Amino acid sequence: MQFRFSRTPTQNPKQKHVAGFSLVELMLTIGIVVLVTGAVLARNTSFTATTLLKSQALEISLDLRAAQQYGVNVRADSPNIRSAYGVYVNAADASNRQILLFLDANDNFLYDAGEEIEGSQLDSRFVIKEICVPDSSNTRVCAEERLASVAFKRPNFDAVIANSDTSGNNYGLHSKAWLEIVVAPADGTPFERSVFVYESGQITVQ
């Protein structure tokens, strides 16, 4: 008598055992994806913030260049062809985000109330953090409670720089070699950009 044995499908030696992801492997994969996505989003947010900050600093430099152009070339609609034009910046009041273009009617190279002719508003996400000037030894000195006027008068491109505190005390009127306007995010994020105005009339953003 002959006996025949048949193989069941599970006994087929050619059949491979296929297994899925374990729960641990799945959780590790999800964790890696979350970490990579978070890093990319954080980097993108940081890049956007620094780009917008640089754009705001460039806008302030353009306001200064406009005052320089008006002061040297004279605006066509201005009756005061000999008066200086300037920009006034207030770093003493965080809620005051205006950069004022003024016509120096009384020839003192300072902004006085009523002299403003135009104003540009800072983006609400940024503030003038502080204003810096060199001291007698050319050391950078910064203060939050500081006001500044930068004026230009024909025929020179030179800048006349003046700064004072909220009490009206002037610091080195007309004698500073440069002025630095520091712009920073209003939420305290540690990024900042500086607009430099030099006595020679050069304006740069750093």
Q: Domain boundaries in the chain?
A: 34-205
pLDDT value at residue 20: 61
pLDDT value at residue 198: 92
Superfamily of segment(s) 34-205: minor pseudopilin epsh domain (3.55.40.10)
Q: Dump pLDDT digits (tens) for 163-196.
A: 776 555 555 544 568 899 999 988 888 889 999 9
Q: Letter for the amino acid at 64?
A: L
pLDDT band at residue 118 under the 50/70/90 scheme: confident
